[in-house]
Amino acid sequence: MSRFRFSVGPWNVNEGVEAFGPAVRPSIPLEEKFKKFAEIGISGVQFHDDDAVPNMNDLSEAEIIEEAKKVKALLDKYGLEAEFVAPRLWQDPHTTDGAFTSNFPEDREFAMWRAYRSCDIAKVLGTKKIVLWLAREGTLCQESKSAVENVNRLLDTVNKLLAYDPEIEVLIEPKPNEPIDRSFCPTVGHVMALGAKSIDPKRVGCVMESAHAILAGLDPANEMSFAIAMGKLGSVHFNDQNGVRYDQDKSFGAENLRSAFNQVKVLCDNNYGANGEFVGLDVKCMRTQRPGDDYQHIINSMRLVEIMEEKVDRFDNAVLQQCIDEKNYEKLELYVLELLTH
């Protein structure tokens, strides 16, 4: 039994579409996903704005709220909690050049409209957390935008959201690249700096995703540690990644068990979850998986967190202290490797 509460998004159970091939599994209705999430031990659901309210561009602001109420009723039916709402700002034709940092004012206006609607939807779903995954906030052609001007636009966006709803918390999920070539806000450290300059720093934090940290050449446990030291780890997206390549969103621990151990250790050591934070699993199902068996990657990830919690509980601080006293980190290395392999 894990000490953590787990969350996933509806997109984590998908049809198997990727850049080189179409859907291979039928889509599953939202209610069916909720039912299955509850059955396998998930307690939180993460939403993109249009996961909760499909076709929202065609709806009035009042209609969006009415649609969100139906989703809230479904969450309640299965005893689930909404963790956050994130505007999906990478699929619409308005966002080809970025959203908040597009060179085109009408696109930036569209992005703000969606971000404000995310706040409205979040209120109905009963969460204060707005996540900004800054998917296209960067460049494909570096000279096409001023990075200085656009970092300021990101700051302006955060400030507008903080002012729009005095209750919400803005959590930025950094990623160094993909779909853009270069991001204006690639790492946890960049998010911390933006938050510190905002009009209400205590309401700005981050979501650390394991794969995104690895893509930036950084260590996920240390990225989380930095955010924790600043009091700003609002959520995590646990998954795994085989080195610096396309964003794989593999099951947690599937590539690097020691990294998985250290990520769980940081959370345990720092009492993560005490303020209601979830362990989010942003994991993608392999395309080979048959319809009906497409929750296995989520089950695997939860199991890996649990296994690593057991290892953390067995980690002997007396051995650690002894190794420090002897200044013998080679001995500590073996202790950790034996702990992970027994």
Asked if 175 is part of the footprint of ligand XUL (rule: CB under 6 A), the reply reads yes
Binding test (CB under 6 A) with ligand XUL, winner from 100, 133, 238, 252? 133
- Of 46 and 139, which CB lies nearer to ligand XUL in the complex structure? 46
Coil, strand or helix at 280: strand
CB 139 within 8 A of CB 133: no
Q: What is the smallest separation between the CB atom of 288 and Mn ion, expressed in angstroms?
A: 22
Asked if 249 is part of the footprint of Mn ion (rule: CB under 5 A), the reply reads no
Task: Establish how many alpha carbons lie within 13 A of residue 178's alpha carbon, considering only the half-sphere containing its beta carbon.
Answer: 14
Asked if 284 is part of the footprint of ligand XUL (rule: CB under 6 A), the reply reads no
Alpha carbons 162 and 200: distance in angstroms, whole number? 7
What backbone phi and psi angles, to 5 degrees, belong to 280?
-80, 140
- Of 87 and 311, which CB lies nearer to ligand XUL in the complex structure? 87
- 3-state secondary structure string, 122-188? HHHHCCCEEEEECCCCEECCHHHCCHHHHHHHHHHHHHHHHHHCCCCEEEEECCCCCCCCEECCCCH
Asked if 282 is part of the footprint of Mn ion (rule: CB under 5 A), the reply reads yes
The interface region with Mn ion, picked from 62-70, 193-201, 230-238, 306-314 by CB under 5 A, is 230-238
Asked if 86 is part of the footprint of ligand XUL (rule: CB under 6 A), the reply reads yes
- Of 180 and 305, which CB lies nearer to ligand XUL in the complex structure? 180
Quote the distance between the C-alpha of residue 286 and its chain's center. Answer: 19
Q: Which of residues 216-235 bind ligand XUL (CB under 6 A)?
A: none
Asked if 237 is part of the footprint of ligand XUL (rule: CB under 6 A), the reply reads yes
Which residues contact ligand XUL (rule: CB under 6 A)? 48, 86, 133, 173, 175, 209, 237, 247, 282
